[in-house]
Structure 1
Amino acid sequence: MFCYQCEQTAKGEGCKTMGVCGKKPEVAALQDLLIYALQGLALVAVEGRKAGVTDEEANLFTCEAVFSTLTNVDFDPERFVALIKRTVALRDSLAQKVKAAGGKTDFSEAAFTFQPAADLNGLVKQGEEVDLKNASDDNADIQSLKHILLFGIKGVAAYADHAKILGQEDDQVYAFIQESLVNLLRKDMGLQDWVGLVLKCGETNLRAMELLDAGNTGTYGHPVPTEVPLGAKAGKAILVSGHDLKDLEMLLKQTEGKGINIYTHGEMLPAHGYPELKKYSHFYGHYGTAWQNQQKEFAEFPGAILMTTNCIQKPQQSYQGNIFTTGLVGWPAVAHVDDKGCPSLLDKVKSAVGLGCSSQGKDFSAVIKKAQELPGFAADTDKGKVMVGFARNTVMGVADKVIQAVKDKNIRHFFLVAGCDGAKPGRNYYTEFVEKVPSDCVVLTLACGKFRFFDQNLGDIGGIPRLLDVGQCNDAYSAIQIAVALSQAFECGVNDLPLSMVLSWYEQKAVAILLTLLHLGIKDIRLGPSLPAFVTPNVLNVLVENFDIKPISTPDEDLKTILG
């Protein structure tokens, strides 16, 4: 195997024997083969649009399948076997429709004629032949940009899938993902062409995050400042991790009156700020920290656990019987909750039924039953509280105070300290950085990187908290809107604001967000804890020259450089 799509990749170069994330070589091969098969489907989909044929099922399936290959989503080889076979079935079906409409279907690319092997071992061998090394380009810099695009569309697919679940979609997002899959097969494009496509990925991701923001706020209201307990309440308990607000809502509805308290974990923390979720009295508090600590934290949790999106790690034996996956998340031998009235993924392949069967909701009765069997928390505990809910509506609701505080020099600078957390050494930088930010500066944060400092009391400036949690990783859209609104108020460009971005990355959604920031022309971004292994020195030079992007150094040095 060869995989270097995440920040924790072995030796900062690439995982070759086993993924640091826990991904086995057979799963890595199947993921690469799925992307290859999707390129064949994308060839037909792109030509189909030219002939007036747009297949909604193929579009959504492509999005979900690409998302399935993102880090820490799906580790179950049988699910990938099903996805690969379904890809080919959809490709052939769509090709017939496109041909009937007069469109091109005589593709010479091997991805179009690909036929899956009959068994798992055969599929793994096919996957090894098309992995990132074997499918590499002779030009290292072009290969680097191709992989940046590939990993970027994985992030876009994740946000587009989350948005679709809440009824928000745009065919242009699906079209770009499919066009990118096709372009990755090409050998006739130059360096600047690929730079343009990478920035286009950032633009498309901005649209995907906008759709998701519309889905979240349109369904659950705009987040409001909310105090969230970090302790426990005596009684039965269910812990929800991941990102999916709709899964959380369905679980809250199904647990009403059952004496079970619902807790968030990881990136689900900001859910407490949404008015339509806050109304459930048994939606109690937050347990634990970031995804990489789940093996210890889940082992100590006395209730059932539900993983809704990416971030799953190998479940420990002590809690494997207590954890459930849903949506695109999968781990071998872990119970999975499918949509109500919908066949399982394997049944979908057998019956040629597409994905996306969510109209009937999900039945979480197995999760509830497990929670009732487990002891729950024996007593109330008090571990303090944290504040969430400082998305764009909240911040811009006090914009006049913020602007005046800047003009009066009570607020000197804003720092967006955001991104993914992870287990690799070097991330204590972000804790130390926030601790050393001067008292006349404000820190905005989002995504799970905040768990390095989310429970610190930084005080306030004239009633404005110095630590503002904007939300999940996708709420980078909200942070961008705050920056744009402030730049308009001060009649300057975003790069002229007293605002600095200090980011951490781990997986491909962070890659997509970084590309969005570059698309918007935002400069002087500090990135860490290490630079991506898939960025060559020449590509890094392009980023430095055009966007002044730089690696983090030390908190003291970076603060001195930023603040002068």
Structure 2
Amino acid sequence: MENCMFCYQCQETAKGTGCTMAGVCGKSSEVAALQDLLIYVTKGLSVVTTRLREEGKDIDESVNHIISVNLFATITNANFDKDSIVEKISKTLSVKEELLERFEDREGLPDAAEWNGNKSEYAQKAMSKEVGILATRDEDIRSLRELITYGLKGLAAYSKHANSLLKDNEEIDAFLQKALSKTLDDSLSVDDLVALTLETGKYGVDGMALLDAANTGAYGNPEITTVDIGVRNNPGILISGHDLKDLEQLLEQTKGTGVDVYTHSEMLPAHYYPAFKKYPHFAGNYGNAWWKQKEEFEKFNGPILMTTNCIVPPAASYKDRLWTTGATGFPGCRHIDGEYGQVKDFSPIIEQALKCKAPEEIETGTIVGGFAHEQVFALADKIVDAVKSGAIKKFVVMAGCDGRMKSRDYYTEFATKLPKDAVILTAGCAKYKYNKLNLGDIGGIPRVLDAGQCNDSYSLALIALKLKEVFGLDDVNDLPIVYNIAWYEQKAVIVLLALLYLGVKNIHLGPTLPAFLSPNVAKVLVDNFGIAGIGTVEDDLELFFGESK
């Protein structure tokens, strides 16, 4: 308890156990403590909203949005800005006090719902024994509470993106808040929390479906697309993260300016949507996964817009070109505001771009993606024939996240050494470990089928369920699909919980298992769902395919 902080929500947490002095992500202990307090008061607000709903009272959508944004802001690599976090705490407390006035009975409220300090008290409260991960003494209860909370952070991210497209789901918001409130309930047993974990997975599926419908409703169904990874001669703006509405507004505002727009990392799949193909200045994709941004942003020359995580603390050489929006923030970087449903003003970024040189070329060529559920369904007959003929023996789901650790080279080697009759199904930035390799195709079917962002992992679930139906199987686990998933942050947690809810078993998770899984909780996942880590490439090829390469 003498630690400056304690955080173990991401895969790269210090020593595989927890960051205690400063975050490996670059988060200071002060910001970490304030984020803990933000989660604490957000749970308190959720207690209030949940009790009001139980009394038959409505909760305004604006309150739901505050809770989603608060959770999103604490996702790894999203918001490092102390002032931004402080303002979110203040807003949450103010809204909570307003809602408390509607209470018929305030008896039995936890401290998180009752506390209402001022800004001068935030730092002290953040370090108090009631706040933070270690406030829960029992290791297994703590593990399950954090597993649920991290899953809810991922669910909140999906909700936030859907909200940006004016799509809301009261049932999802009500569950999210009810589940948050239950992480404060000391009467719940381990079994109760295990059940809540699986229920979180159910709403994870619902949340992904909501976002999928919002994205495809606004921009069309992704289609097979070849994306340029070189550069043009015009000045450019690089947009990173996941928020397609931000991209749409930026493309609209850069029309006719002479400024090209490039995607980075998780924004790459935007090229697959038909609606964005009408913009001739939508140039291509620049760079690789999020963790390489320091070297790549330096060479881009123009401004960079971060719409969501993942931010790496910027070098001084380009910090004045790094902009944030939405739930993101970094001290010293300029922020573009914009509330729910508002059009954001990106003119300052465009003005800066016009004064910058064109991007420096760091690679050339193209990559192919766009294999979301509708596109794969259109190829279903071809895929089924390939499976029946033996041309495709197995599919390997290699979705998830990339990261800095050298051990993640495992995924490049694994993809390279896969049997030639295996096809990779992917989504998320994990694909940057192998999407630029020349792995070829099977009868015209590329051996890497990219469904899109981590948010689009829903497509992989739908594809598996469709194949189950086509092959007339009773159990999704009877499909020729193996799961070898890389994880990094909390959106990967909700994807995992969603897969567990759908009945998928024997998922291998790497490069290390989450530090927040206590031995007993890990045993529950192993015994009931077959969750496992990864081994060597040779051992895992033998395990999955009965052969080593």
TM-score (norm 1): 0.94
Query: Please, which of 75, 81, 97 is the counterpart of residue 92 of structure 1?
Result: 97
Query: Please, which of 362, 380, 384 is the counterpart of residue 344 of structure 2?
Result: 362
- Work out whether 1:551 is the aligned partner of 2:529: no
- Work out whether 1:136 is the aligned partner of 2:119: no
Contact 1:29 1:125 in 2 (8 A): no
- Work out whether 1:451 is the aligned partner of 2:432: yes
Measured at CA, do residues 3 and 338 of structure 1 come closer, stay the same or move farther in structure 2, by a change above 3 Å?
same
Measured at CA, do residues 31 and 382 of structure 1 come closer, stay the same or move farther in structure 2, by a change above 3 Å?
closer
- Work out whether 1:16 is the aligned partner of 2:23: no
Amino acid at match of 1:113: E
Contact 1:55 1:94 in 2 (8 A): no
Question: What is the deviation of 1:447?
Answer: 0.2
Contact 2:33 2:132 in 1 (8 A): no
Residue pairs, 1:429-444, within 5 angstroms: 429-444=410-425
2:368 match: 387
1:54 match: 58
Residue pairs, 1:393-542, within 5 angstroms: 393-492=374-473, 493-542=475-524
Amino acid at match of 1:174: D
Residue pairs, 1:41-440, within 5 angstroms: 41-56=45-60, 57-97=62-102, 99=103, 103-119=104-120, 122-129=121-128, 130-137=130-137, 139-339=138-338, 357-377=339-359, 383-440=364-421
Question: What is the deviation of 1:134?
Answer: 4.0
Amino acid at match of 1:218: G
In 2, Cα distance between equivalents of 1:127 and 1:81: 11
Per-residue CA deviations over 1:132-172 (Å, capped at 9, x if unaligned) read: 354113x3112111110111111111111111111222111
In 2, Cα distance between equivalents of 1:507 and 1:382: 28
Measured at CA, do residues 243 and 520 of structure 1 come closer, stay the same or move farther in structure 2, by a change above 3 Å?
same
In 2, Cα distance between equivalents of 1:369 and 1:468: 38
Measured at CA, do residues 438 and 373 of structure 1 come closer, stay the same or move farther in structure 2, by a change above 3 Å?
same
Amino acid at match of 1:216: N
Bigger shift: 478-487 or 37-46?
A: 37-46
- Work out whether 1:34 is the aligned partner of 2:34: no
Contact 2:164 2:341 in 1 (8 A): no
Contact 1:221 1:276 in 2 (8 A): yes
Amino acid at match of 1:555: V
Amino acid at match of 1:288: G
Per-residue CA deviations over 1:333-375 (Å, capped at 9, x if unaligned) read: 1000112xxxxxxxxxxxxxxxxx2333111001101100111
Contact 2:35 2:74 in 1 (8 A): yes
Contact 2:287 2:362 in 1 (8 A): no
1:342 match: none
Question: What is the deviation of 1:63?
Answer: 1.1
* CA-atom RMSD in angstroms: 1.3
Question: What is the deviation of 1:382?
Answer: 6.3
Per-residue CA deviations over 1:521-544 (Å, capped at 9, x if unaligned) read: 101111000011110111111111
Question: What is the deviation of 1:85?
Answer: 1.1
Amino acid at match of 1:527: L
Per-residue CA deviations over 1:12-70 (Å, capped at 9, x if unaligned) read: 01000000001011111111111111122112101111222222221111111111111
In 1, Cα distance between equivalents of 2:242 and 2:57: 33
Bigger shift: 296-305 or 122-131?
A: 122-131
1:351 match: none
Measured at CA, do residues 401 and 108 of structure 1 come closer, stay the same or move farther in structure 2, by a change above 3 Å?
closer
1:346 match: none
**Percent identity at matched positions?**
46
Question: What is the deviation of 1:95?
Answer: 1.6
Per-residue CA deviations over 1:84-127 (Å, capped at 9, x if unaligned) read: 11111111111223x3xxx43334421122122342xx312211
Bigger shift: 271-280 or 175-184?
A: 175-184
In 1, Cα distance between equivalents of 2:322 and 2:216: 29
Contact 1:30 1:77 in 2 (8 A): yes
In 1, Cα distance between equivalents of 2:441 and 2:227: 18
Measured at CA, do residues 440 and 108 of structure 1 come closer, stay the same or move farther in structure 2, by a change above 3 Å?
closer
Q: Where does structure 2 lack aligned partners over 5 or more consecutive residues? A: none
Amino acid at match of 1:266: S
Bigger shift: 305-314 or 53-62?
A: 53-62
- Work out whether 1:4 is the aligned partner of 2:5: no
Measured at CA, do residues 545 and 382 of structure 1 come closer, stay the same or move farther in structure 2, by a change above 3 Å?
closer
In 2, Cα distance between equivalents of 1:223 and 1:66: 28
Per-residue CA deviations over 1:381-413 (Å, capped at 9, x if unaligned) read: 861100011111111101011111111111110
